[in-house]
Amino acid sequence: MSITNLIRFNNLRGDVFGGVTAAIVSLPLALAFGVASGIGPLGGLYGAVCVGFFAALFGGTPTLISEPTGPMTVVMTAIVASLTASNPENGLAMAFTVVMLAGLFQIVFGLFKLGKYVTLMPYSVISGFMSGIGVILIILQVAPFLGQAPPKGGVLGTFLSIPDLISKVNPPEAILGALTLAIIFFMPKKIKKIVPPQLIALIIGTVVSLTVFGNADIRRIGEIPVGLPPLQLPTFTAGQLTVMLVDGVMLGMLGCIDTLLTAVVADSLTRTEHNSNKELIGQGIGNIVSGLCGGLPGAGATMGTVVNIQTGATSAVSGLTRALVLLVVVLGAAKLTQPIPMAVLAGIALKVGIDILDWSFLKRSHKISVKGSLIMYGVLLLTVFVDLIVAVGIGVFIANILTINQLSEMQSSEVKLISDLDDDVKISDEQKLLLDKGQGRVLLFCLSGPMIFGLSKAIAREHNAMKDADALVVDLTEVPSLGVTASLAIENVIRDAHDKGLEVYVVGASQKIQRRLQSLGLFDLIHPEHMMSDRTEALQQAVDKVYRQL
């Protein structure tokens, strides 16, 4: 996939409109993340410009919007705090060097074609990790939200200081923070489709601070330098080199995970398939440039990407447009951001933290799998109170040990070994005739072998390739076990089919798998008579339905 494949001008109006809209969404988030990281609002803006432009130019996902994200900001905050504490004079320059190292590692991952392996980890671990980052972002915003300076000690120090922060609350700033959250949470959907609630909250919060609280002592962004940023040349010290390399790997890996998960979302919305390795190279180039310009690291952003696609974008022209619009704002309108209250930005960032939490899985993880739930909560707590790398490492290790143990038990019971989705599924002549008779309106989705987390991508790929039909037969006859991640992938298939009006039949599900499907709430979508044991009978009913509709 070359640059010309991503940049097309056959949909210029849709791409430009999508890019401008995405820029409007990005502006308040970039300011909020810049302030939250300790670098400053200009760092957030230049991160949005640099990563957004070069990732769009060299990446592998046409409609992906790249910018500073909540997870990347959380990690960068810890890096800035650590390096500036150990080296006050050069710490910030070293932090930008870590951003460049992260970009370099991403390019290496892409060149060695490691993109397909980056997200190959259990959903329980990803969920716990992302939710932990959401909790960190929420905790870090408590102090500015209440009108206080951040206490020392990072996340744990802030967490322990919450009672003291509440007792010393600055009422005007706390009111502005609460107003910001209220606007974002309760804005009607009709207005949200026209203007991002974050931007409205930013404007209203600033106006209220200047009018209602004009005489109050309120902390604001202050003056932002206008013009191009000074270059941040790579800065190393012998004592911190190892730490910086580890931080660079961690930041680069997080950016890869964050980006490729968002790229999968873009694929599902556009019915296309991204180039993972090319995307990592584009992200790496963007982060290197961002580090050189003193900007925050960035990754694929789900909110901006969805808005971009929904407003008509189909190519990388949208991402380039968005970056150029933000650059114009930085160069020409930065002074307009001076009166923005810090509490308003804290409210915006706090809402991002709330959104990062994987509420869907948190609410039902214990119903789907107790072991998966324990892993998820363990990773979450380790992420918040120990270390990001330790959290992911321990989570993946335990999940793999449990999987290996499960597969070993299945081998001892003379059950089939792992197999991929089988394109050469053996079906009887009668079943072939029924499929032919269905004239392509009946789809047979066959799965074979233990459905562990590694198969979720294959399930998603087949799901994306599904065409219009009237009935879907999901054959689980040869599936002895169904992992959490694969369960969620199959849930997406069934829910998508149901939303499109297809009659769904499930064949051969064991009692254990039926309990798993029930815990996902899928029995509300599948008619009891459509839970069957015979594939032929299911195909016959599906074909009969097709002919009744003709």
User: Is 83 inside any structural domain?
Assistant: yes
- Domain stops at, among 335, 358, 381: 358
Residue 62's SS3 state is coil
171 and 293 housed in the same domain: yes
Q: Phi and psi of 239, rounded to 5°?
A: -70, -25
Whole-prediction pTM: 0.78
Residue 423's SS3 state is coil
- Domain stops at, among 358, 376, 400: 358
Question: Which structural domain range is residue 163 located in?
Answer: 25-358
Please report the pLDDT score of residue 5 as a whole number. 52
User: Is 436 inside any structural domain?
Assistant: yes
Element (H, E) at 66: strand 66-67
User: Is 237 inside any structural domain?
Assistant: yes
Pairing of strands 299-300, 66-67: antiparallel
176 and 283 housed in the same domain: yes
325 and 455 housed in the same domain: no
User: Is 388 inside any structural domain?
Assistant: no
Please report the pLDDT score of residue 105 as a whole number. 97
435 and 349 housed in the same domain: no
User: Is 391 inside any structural domain?
Assistant: no
Please report the pLDDT score of residue 317 as a whole number. 93
Q: Which residues touch 444 (CB under 8 Å, ≥6 apart)?
A: 425, 427, 435, 473, 475, 535, 539
Q: Which residue has the tokens 């968002």?
A: 262
- Domain stops at, among 342, 358, 374: 358
Q: Which amino acid is at 64?
A: L
84 and 218 housed in the same domain: yes
Q: Phi and psi of 339, rounded to 5°?
A: -80, 0
Please report the pLDDT score of residue 6 as a whole number. 64
User: Is 499 inside any structural domain?
Assistant: yes
Please report the pLDDT score of residue 183 as a whole number. 94
User: Is 44 inside any structural domain?
Assistant: yes
User: Is 272 inside any structural domain?
Assistant: yes
C-alpha closest to that of 353 among 192, 193, 140, 197: 140
Give the helix ranges, DSSP H, for 271-333. Answer: 276-292, 302-310, 317-332
Measure Cα distances from 179 to 172, 236, 372 in Å. 10, 43, 37
Give Dmax over CA atoms of the chain in angstroms: 83
Residue 460: CATH number of its domain? 3.30.750.24
Please report the pLDDT score of residue 175 as a whole number. 95
- Count of alpha carbons within 13 angstroms of residue 18, beta-carbon side: 27
Q: Which residues touch 365 (CB under 8 Å, ≥6 apart)?
A: 124, 127, 372, 373, 376, 377, 484
Please report the pLDDT score of residue 549 as a whole number. 67
pLDDT (tens digit, 9 = 90+) per residue, 327-338? 988 887 777 788
CB 118 within 8 A of CB 479: no
Please report the pLDDT score of residue 171 as a whole number. 93
CB 399 within 8 A of CB 122: yes
Q: What is the DSSP letter of 149?
A: P
State how far the Cα of 431 lies from the Cα of 162, in Å rounded to an integer: 65
The residue ranges of the chain whose pLDDT is under 50 are: 1, 4, 411-423
Element (H, E) at 474: strand 471-478
Please report the pLDDT score of residue 3 as a whole number. 52
Say how many domains are in the chain.
2
